Amino acid sequence: MGEAAEYFSKDFDWEELRIRVENDPLLQYHLLPFQPCDSIPSVSAEADSDAWSRFHLRHSSGKFFKERRYLLKEFPELVSCKKNCKVLEVGCGNGSTALPILRGNENIVIYACDCSTETLERAKEIINDVGIASLKDRFCPFYCDFSTSKFPTWLACNSCRGNTSLQQPSFTTPEKEGSQATESEESECCIGGVDFLTLIFTLSAVPLQRMPASIRECYMALKPGGLLLFRDYGLYDMTMLRFGQDQRVGFKEYVRLDGTRSYFFCLNTLRDLFVTAGFVELELEYCCVKSLNRRNGKSMERVWVHGKFQKPVS
C-alpha cells in the first residue's frame, strides 16, 4: 500500500510550458477562437463509434496493448477498497485499464462498457488469455455509448437514479479517501450503482456539446459518496501541438486522419463540467511527464489531467 500511495507527475511546470506555447508564432493557430466552416462536416455519433472501433481493430496486437499499471499508484483507492466493490469503466477499449485493476485487487468487480462490440470482444479475449479464472469472473463487459444514451437500468434503475440530488452538499471537506465506498446489497431491480467510475482517456473522445449529459449520466450511475476517477489529455500536450490547423473541429478539439477525435482539457473547463453535474472536486491537476522517444532520442512533454470527483452523500 505504501508503494501505491506514491505517484510522481511533475517533470516540468505546466505554466512554463504554457508561456512557451503561447509565445511561439508557429503555434498561434491553436489559440485562436474557432470559426466553423462549411468544409468541416458534422459527424454523427455512429461515425464516432465506427472510427474508434476501426482504431482498436488496427491496434489489437500485443505490441500496442499496454496495461496501465500506473493507475493503481494514481488511484490507490482501487487497491484498498473492500469486498464486493463495484467499478464501472466507461470506454474500456481493449482492456488495458481493466486488467491491472483486476490484478491489483481481488475484491473488485468491473462492469466495463464501450461503444464498439468488436472492441468489447477483444477486451474479453485479452482478459481470458491471462488464464486466471477469477479475473474472467469479475469482468462484466456490456455495450453502451454513454455519449448518446443512458446506462442500462440493471446498473442503476430509475428508482435508484431518482434518489439523488443536484444540490451541493452541506459539507465543505470531503470524506477521507477510501472511506466513502460502502458495501450495499444488490436489490432485485438493479445492482444499486457502483462505488467507483473510471473515465480514462474516454471523455476527450466525446464532442464537447455532448459532454455535460455524459458526465451527468456518470453521476447517476454512482452510489452516493462514490468516486469518479479521471485521467485524460491536458491542454498543450505534445499530441495537441502536432495537430495541423486543418484538423481543428472546435476550440481545443481536433480530429485525426482516421476519424477519431480528441479534446484537450484545461482545469477550469473540467471543473465547470463536473461541478455543474453535481460532483464535488477532490483533486484536479495537470500531470506533466517527460518521456524519451527511443527511435529519435527526443524528449517528449506529455500533459494529462488527473482528477477525483465525489458524488455527495444525500
- 3 state SS for 84-106: CEEEEEECCCCCCCHHHHHHHCC
Classify residue 24: in a domain, yes or no.
no
Report the distance separating Cα 242 and Cα 259, nearest Å: 16
Among the residue ranges 52-56, 98-102, 164-168, 303-307, the one predicted with the least confidence is: 164-168
Please report the pLDDT score of residue 1 as a whole number: 36
Q: Report the percentage of the chain scoring pLDDT > 70.
A: 80
Classify residue 73: in a domain, yes or no.
yes
The DSSP annotation for 234-276 comes to: BTT-HHHHHS-GGGEEETTEEE-TTS-EEE-B-HHHHHHHHHH
Q: Which three cell numbers stand for residue 177?
A: 479517501
Q: How far is CA 189 from the centre of its chain?
A: 27
Residues in the chain: 314
Q: Beta 280-292 vs 299-310: how paired, if at all?
A: antiparallel
Among the residue ranges 3-7, 221-225, 233-237, the one predicted with the least confidence is: 3-7
Please report the pLDDT score of residue 61 as a whole number: 58
Report the distance separating Cα 82 and Cα 256, nearest Å: 41
Res. 2: pLDDT tops 50: no
Q: What CATH number is attached to the domain comprising 146?
A: 3.40.50.150
Q: Encode pLDDT of 155-190 as tens digits.
A: 988 777 755 443 332 223 333 333 333 334 455 678
Classify residue 141: in a domain, yes or no.
yes
Please report the pLDDT score of residue 3 as a whole number: 41
Q: Encode pLDDT of 293-310 as tens digits.
A: 777 778 889 999 999 999
Q: Encode pLDDT of 233-290 as tens digits.
A: 999 999 999 999 999 999 999 998 888 899 999 999 999 999 999 999 999 999 999 9
Residue 176 is classified by DSSP as: P
Please report the pLDDT score of residue 282 as a whole number: 97
User: Do residues 139 and 102 lie in contact, with contact meaning Cβ atoms separated by under 8 Å?
Assistant: yes
Please report the pLDDT score of residue 68 as a whole number: 86
Domain count, the chain: 1
Report the distance separating Cα 274 and Cα 228, nearest Å: 10
Q: How far is CA 34 from the centre of its chain?
A: 25
Classify residue 176: in a domain, yes or no.
no
Classify residue 138: in a domain, yes or no.
yes
User: Do residues 53 and 45 lie in contact, with contact meaning Cβ atoms separated by under 8 Å?
Assistant: no
Please report the pLDDT score of residue 90 as a whole number: 96
Over its C-alpha atoms, the chain yields an Rg (Å, rounded) of 19
Amino acid identity, residue 154?
W
Residue with cell 508564432: 25
Q: Where in the sequence is the domain holding 90, given as residue range(s)?
A: 48-59+66-160+189-311
Please report the pLDDT score of residue 55 as a whole number: 67
Q: Report the percentage of the chain scoring pLDDT > 90.
A: 55
Q: Beta 139-143 vs 194-200: how paired, if at all?
A: unpaired
Classify residue 13: in a domain, yes or no.
no
Res. 151: pLDDT tops 70: yes
Classify residue 25: in a domain, yes or no.
no
Report the distance separating Cα 228 and Cα 196, nearest Å: 6
Please report the pLDDT score of residue 132 as a whole number: 81
Q: Encode pLDDT of 65-96 as tens digits.
A: 578 888 999 999 999 988 889 999 999 988 88
Q: How confident is the model at residue 9 (pLDDT cuts 50, 70, 90)?
A: confident
With DSSP H G I counted as helix, E B as strand and the rest as coil, what are the percentages for the chain, rounded to 5? 35, 25, 45
Please report the pLDDT score of residue 117 as a whole number: 86
Q: Which three cell numbers stand for residue 1?
A: 500500500
Classify residue 115: in a domain, yes or no.
yes
